[in-house]
Amino acid sequence: MAVSTTSLNSTLIVKYQIGTTPTGGPQLKQKSLNYLKSDASEQNVYDVAAALLSLGQHPLTNVLLRKNFELLNE
């Protein structure tokens, strides 16, 4: 039996540094944007994340893209 996939929505997760901990390590926060279009390219998602964070005062540390698929047994 073959399994096919159907692309569902995606979630963009951006992590950024808001300061340092008392021991000198980075203090990080993250924000998520849910329900991205399933056909959005990875480059476009990254570009949007970088552009949005450039408007703020905190440096971007990570960009994560979580894709969801439905698996169908045919």
Per-residue pLDDT of 3-41, as tens digits, reads 999 888 899 999 999 999 999 999 999 999 998 987 889
Structural domain including 26 reads: 3-73
pTM of the model: 0.79
Express each pLDDT in 36-66 by its tens digit.
987 889 999 999 999 989 998 999 999 999 9
Q: How many domains does the chain have?
A: 1
What CA–CA distance (Å, rounded) separates 60 from 52?
Answer: 10
HSE (side-chain half, CA atoms, 13 Å) at 5: 7
Both structure tokens of 68: 């969801």
Interstrand relation of 3-20 and 26-36 (parallel, antiparallel or unpaired): antiparallel
**Nearest to 53, CA basis, from 25, 27, 15:** 15
| Amino acid symbol at 16 | Y
